[in-house]
Structure 1
C-alpha cells in the first residue's frame, strides 16, 4: 500500500511538472506577467475574476501589455489608451475575433452577433446595423420611441410624489421598452409579469457573465457544467428568453410579413425568405433568436446602468445639477420634446453626460477578443486565436488623457470658454470592428432620457441622508451601489 501511495504521488508530481513546463513553454513569446500555477494559472491571484482594480495593480508591475492565465489559457491584457488603441484601432481587422469562451459558447451556441465569428458574424452584424438604421428612419423612428418612454419614466417618478424611491426598477423597464419596440414592435406595461420575468432573466444573464462562476466555468467546463451552482440558473434564464422570443417570432409569422416591416423580427423573417436559396446564407431561426437576445441584453443593461449612475452623480454634486437646470431653462423651449440634436445647444449638459459615461466606465474591462491571424503588437508576436483583453476602464482613467481621472469632473469635456470638446480617449463603447452595435441608439437614449428627467425634476437625497456611495459593484458592467432619491417637480 505504501508503494502505491508513493507511486500515485510521483505520478501526480510528474503531471504537475509537465503542466507547468507546458505553460512556461507557451509563455515564452507572450508579454510578461505573474507566474502561473499548474491547472489554475493566476485564478487565485485574480480572485477568480478580471476586475479593473486588480488588472490596474498588475499593470504597475508588468507594464501596459502583460499576460495573465485563466487555468491553462493565457490572456494578454492591454492597459491604457495607447496600448488599447494600437490593438483594436490600428489592428482592427486582426483584432475582430471573439474567443471560444466555453461559458459564452454554451449560452449562445456561437450564434448571433456579440460572440459569433467569421462569416456568420459579418452577415449578422451587417444586417443588424442596416436594420437599426432603417428603423430609425421610419414614421415612428427610434427618437420618437425614446421620447415616449422618457415621458413614461417622468410619469412613474412623479407618481412617487417626492417620496424616497429606488429608481432602478423604473429605469431598467423604460430602457428595456425602447429595445422591445425595436425588436418586437411593441412596448410592455411596467406591471406586465411576463415583461418583468423577461427583464429579470436578462439581468441574471448579464450578472452571470461577470461572475466568478463564469470564470471558473471557462477554466474547467468539463467539470463545472455538471455541478449545481448559480451558472445553472443562467442556463434556465437563457431558456426562458429563448422561449419568449420564439413565441414573438411565431406571432409575427402568423400575422404575415408586412409590406413595411416595423421591427427587427419582421426585417429578419423577410431576410430569411430572401436568402433561403443562397448556400452561404447564415440567416435562420437560431441566429434570429440569438440576435434578438443579444440586442435585448446589450440594449438594456448598459444604458439603464448609465442612467442609474447619472442620477447618483447628480445627487452627489448639487452644484452641477443647478448649472444644468440653468442651461436647460435658457436654451430649451419648455413645451417641446427633447431631441438628440438639443445636445448641441447644451455644452455643459453634454459634457456632464460624457463625464458620467467616463467616470462610471460601465463596460468595465469589456469583452475579450482574439486575433484572427498572427500579428505583432508592440514587439510581441501573437499567434492566431490569442485571447486579448482591452481594458476599457484603464482607457477612461488614463492619467495621460484625463486631468483628474478618478474624480467626477465635467471640465474633462469643456474648453476654457465653456464649449464642448471631444477627447480621443473617450471609448465607452469600445472601438474598431467590434465597436458596440447599439452605440448610436445608446447615445440618443442617454441624451433624451437624462435631459427629459432633469428638465422635469429637482433630485434630492432623502431626509437624513448626507452622502452617497460612488464606488462601483464589480461585474461585467460596473453598477452603482443601491440608493434612493427624491424627485421633486420643478
Structure 2
C-alpha cells in the first residue's frame, strides 16, 4: 500500500510539473499533441529527423513541437523562415539553449553563445579573419598553394581507382589551420588526424537516438550510461588539442605582430585582463577556435566530395563545367577568383551542390531574444525556434525541381548566374555562418582546379551511382566512393 501511494504521489507531482511548465507558453501555434515529460520524442525516432518534422509541416508552416516538457516552434518553408531570420533578424538572433551543449561547449565560443558574449566574439572573429586574409588575395593564395598539394597527390595515383576523401579533408582543414594556427600540417600528421576523427565522430554521435533523448529529458538520462556521455570525452579531447597549440603560441607571442587568429585572441586577452567581465578568456578562445575549425572544414570537405560524386553521376553537367573552364581559364593558368564572375554555369553548379546536399537539414536552433508577436502568435522570450533549412532549400515555390539536381535553378533565361533568396545553405540573418565567403571561395577554386587538370570517372555506371548520404540527422556526410583522376593532357 505504501509503495502504491508513493507511486501515485510521484505521478501526480510529474503531472503538476508538466502543467506548470506549459501554463505560461504564451499564445503558441498548434502542433501534434505532446506526451507528458517526453513531449513529441516518440514521433522523432527516425535517424533522418527532419523527415518526421516535415511530415507535420505538410499542413502548416509553423507549429509547436514538444521537446520534453518545453515547447519549440518549428518553421518550415521559405516564407516562414525568411520572415523570422531575415525580416525579424534581431528578435530571432538568439541561440537556443540545448542540454547537449552543456556536455560540450557549455555556451562558450561563437556557435552556441548568446547576448553580449556572442556579439563580441562574432565581431572580433569576423574582423580578425578578415585581417588574416578572408576575402583578400592573401587567403586566395593560401588556398591555391594547398590545392597544389592535393593535385600532386591525385597525379601520383596515375589514374588508378582511388578514394579521395582522406586527402580532401586534410587539404581543406589546412586552409583553416593556416588562418587559425598559422601553419599547415602534413597529410600524415597523427595529431591532426586525431582532431579530424574526433570532430567527425561527434557529428555522427549527435545523430544518435540517445543524444536526441538526452535533449528531451536530460535530468533523467544524465544518470544513465550511453553514447551521449562520449560527446563530452570527445569534445574535451578537442579542447586539449587546441589548448596545446595555444600554449605554444603563448611562448612565442609577439603582441606587436600577431601571426594568426590565436595570437590575435591572446593579444586581446592581455588588453582586457583587468576587465572582470571580459569575454576574452581561455574558454572562449578554445571553443571559438573549434567552432571556426568545424565550420571551415567539415562542411566544405563534405560538400567538395559530394560535388565530385555528382559530377560523375551527371557526365553532361561535368562536360559543361569543363567546357567553361577551358574557355575562360584554359589549361595552363591556375584558376583565380576573378574568373568566377565569367563562369556562371560553374557558379550555378557549386550553389546547386550546396542546395541539393543540404548539409545541415535542420540548421542550428534559434531562440527569440524578446517576447515576440509573429504571424499572429505570441512567442515568449527564450522560445526555441527550429528553422528547417531543408524545407527552404527544397521549397517548390522557390526551386522548380527541388528534388532533382539542376544548376538551372541558379541561372536566368540568358544563362547568367542569378542569386536566390531561398539559398540558405549557410542559414540567414544575424546568425548566418560567418565563414560563408571562405567556403564559396574554396569550393570554386578546388573544383575548377581539379577539373582543369583531371578528367574524373567512376567504374560504376552513372545511373548506378548512389547519392544517399553516409548519415543524415544533424549533418550529412557524402558517402564513401572511389574514382579515377586521369590527367587531361593524357586524354587528348
Match runs of 1:302-381 below 5 Å: 302-381=299-378
Alpha-carbon deviation of 1:336?
2.3
Aligned residues between the structures:
487
1:114 aligned residue: 111
2:67 aligned with 1:70: yes
- 1:282 is aligned, of 263, 266, 279, to 279
CA contact (8 A) 2:313 2:463 kept: no
Rounded Cα–Cα distance in structure 2 between residues aligned with 1:4 and 1:211: 39
1:239 aligned residue: 236
Match runs of 1:12-51 below 5 Å: 13-15=11-13, 17-18=15-16, 21-22=19-20, 25-26=23-24, 29-47=27-45, 51=49
Match runs of 1:31-430 below 5 Å: 31-47=29-45, 51-61=49-59, 63-136=60-133, 141-257=138-254, 259-430=256-427
Distance 1:380 1:180, change over 3 A: same
Consecutive unaligned residues of structure 2, counting only runs of 5 or more, are: none
Rounded Cα–Cα distance in structure 2 between residues aligned with 1:172 and 1:316: 21
Report the 3-state secondary structure (helix = DSSP H, G, I; strand = E; otherwise coil) of the residue aligned with 1:107: coil
2:428 aligned with 1:455: no
Alpha-carbon deviation of 1:207?
2.4
* Alignment deviations for residues 9-61 of structure 1 (CA, whole Å, 9 cap, x no partner): 53355346435645664557211111001111111111176722222111013
1:486 aligned residue: 484
* Alignment deviations for residues 269-311 of structure 1 (CA, whole Å, 9 cap, x no partner): 1111122233442111111111111111111111111111101
Rounded Cα–Cα distance in structure 1 between residues aligned with 2:252 and 2:415: 53
Rounded Cα–Cα distance in structure 2 between residues aligned with 1:185 and 1:17: 55
Distance 1:13 1:254, change over 3 A: closer
Instruction: Give the stretch that moved more between structures: 382-391 or 428-437.
Output: 428-437
Rounded Cα–Cα distance in structure 1 between residues aligned with 2:202 and 2:334: 34
Rounded Cα–Cα distance in structure 2 between residues aligned with 1:48 and 1:154: 39
Distance 1:50 1:99, change over 3 A: farther
CA contact (8 A) 2:18 2:69 kept: no
Rounded Cα–Cα distance in structure 2 between residues aligned with 1:430 and 1:295: 16
Rounded Cα–Cα distance in structure 2 between residues aligned with 1:137 and 1:95: 27
Rounded Cα–Cα distance in structure 2 between residues aligned with 1:71 and 1:368: 15
Rounded Cα–Cα distance in structure 2 between residues aligned with 1:451 and 1:466: 24
Rounded Cα–Cα distance in structure 1 between residues aligned with 2:468 and 2:135: 41
